[in-house]
Structures are given as structure tokens and as C-alpha cells.
Amino acid sequence: MNPSPPNARSARSPEERAKIKRVIAECGLCGLANDTKWDEFVAAMREQVWKPSYRVKCVNGPVSVWDVEWFYHLPFPLISVEWMDVAFLQKEIRNALLAPVVTDHSAWIEALIKQFGLDSRTGKSMIRIFGYSPRSTEQFDELDQLSTHTRIQPLTPNQVTGLVFLSSIPQTSLLHSPSKKRSVPHPAADTNHLMID
């Protein structure tokens, strides 16, 4: 039997939610999200094939690092989330010789946010979901530790053939220099020699 993944109410101890509620009251924050909205949004993200990077700012902590794991790395209970940034640009490197393909996923992410009634703001590269008001714009749209979510595509057979061809060229041809040279035995085999200036 597989245990269900954590939800918005999951906590390490019964006192944890009470402690977070005290911090919320001390900071004078007003809730914009609730457990149901967070659960619906997180469940929808867990079902996606491409899962965007996210970072969070909890009411009682610093801004997190970027992450893409939507099951166990979230800061449960989600009552603690002051805001969550969701990066919507996906960079795919399909060929090392061509520019990466960038896909903008903002439309479907915004639709989910709207469907679940979450409050948000869209920037150039991310969407901020607000858990509380006043709405903080701290570090909004800053990609300090994120270079868009990158996935490297597997090489095609033609690309593999090209790599095999390059690796079959003798090393002396690749390191040829017209200046004065001396021959140095290659450590891997007695028959190969490198030309060194």
C-alpha cells in the first residue's frame, strides 16, 4: 500500500500549524490562499508531464532555492507559504549547434491558478502566487539561481555518427600546430603521439 503524498495540512507536529498562525498574526498578514486552494493547485502540478521550477518564501523563513520536485519538497504545511514563484519558461537543448528552444508555459499555469482561485501576478519569467496580503514583490522576476528549466534532448543517430567520426580522427591531427613541435608518447597507448609546442 502506497501512502498518499503530503497535502497542504501535513505537518511534522500538531504544534507546527499553531506556531505558524502566531507568526502570521504577529506580522499582521491576511490570508489570500487556503489549504483547499493549495491542495488543488499542487495536485494539478503533480499531474503535469513538464513540472515547472518553483521557489517559496515562508512567513517564518528566507526565500528557498529553486526546486522542481512537487511531492515532498514543498514547505508543509502550506499555511506557511507567504508567496510562491513558479517559473514558466522551459529551455530545451535539442542540438548543441543550434540555439535552445524556449517554450512559454504561462498560459496553462495561469489557467490553473485562476481555476483554483489563487491570487497571482505574472512577470517576464515567472508567476508569483500570493498566500498572504500585503502582497510582497521581494525578488519578484529575479532569476538569481534559475536559468530556466532545461531539459537536454537525446542525440539523434546522425548526431551520434558525427561524434563517432570526430572521435576517430587521430589526436595528432586535432592538436596540430605549425610552430616547432616535439613528439610526446600518449599515456593511453604507445602508438599514439601528441604534438606539443
Specify whether the CB–CB gap between 176 and 196 falls below 8 A: no
Q: Which amino acid is at 187?
A: P
Phi and psi (nearest 5°) for 93?
-95, 105
Would you place residue 14 in the very low, low, confident or very high pLDDT band (cuts 50, 70, 90)?
Answer: confident
Query: Which of residues 136 and 191 earns the better pLDDT score?
Result: 136
Would you place residue 157 in the very low, low, confident or very high pLDDT band (cuts 50, 70, 90)?
Answer: low
User: What is the pLDDT averaged over residues 43-70?
Assistant: 96
Cα(137)–Cα(90) distance, integer angstroms? 23
Residue 96 has a pLDDT of: 85
Full-prediction pTM beyond 0.85? no
pLDDT digits (tens, 9 = 90+) for 79-128: 999 999 999 999 998 888 889 999 999 999 999 999 999 999 999 999 99
User: What is the pLDDT averaged over residues 164-189?
Assistant: 45
Cα(27)–Cα(120) distance, integer angstroms? 21
Residues of the chain with pLDDT > 70: what percent? 71
Specify whether the CB–CB gap between 120 and 47 falls below 8 A: no
Q: Which amino acid is at 34?
A: N
Specify whether the CB–CB gap between 164 and 118 falls below 8 A: no
Residue 144, pLDDT > 80, answer: no
User: What is the pLDDT averaged over residues 184-197?
Assistant: 43
Residue 95 has a pLDDT of: 86
User: What is the pLDDT averaged over residues 12-38?
Assistant: 95
Specify whether the CB–CB gap between 112 and 37 falls below 8 A: no
Alpha carbon distances (Å) from 173 to 66, 156, 177, 184, 192: 44, 26, 9, 14, 11
Mean predicted lDDT score pLDDT of the chain:
81
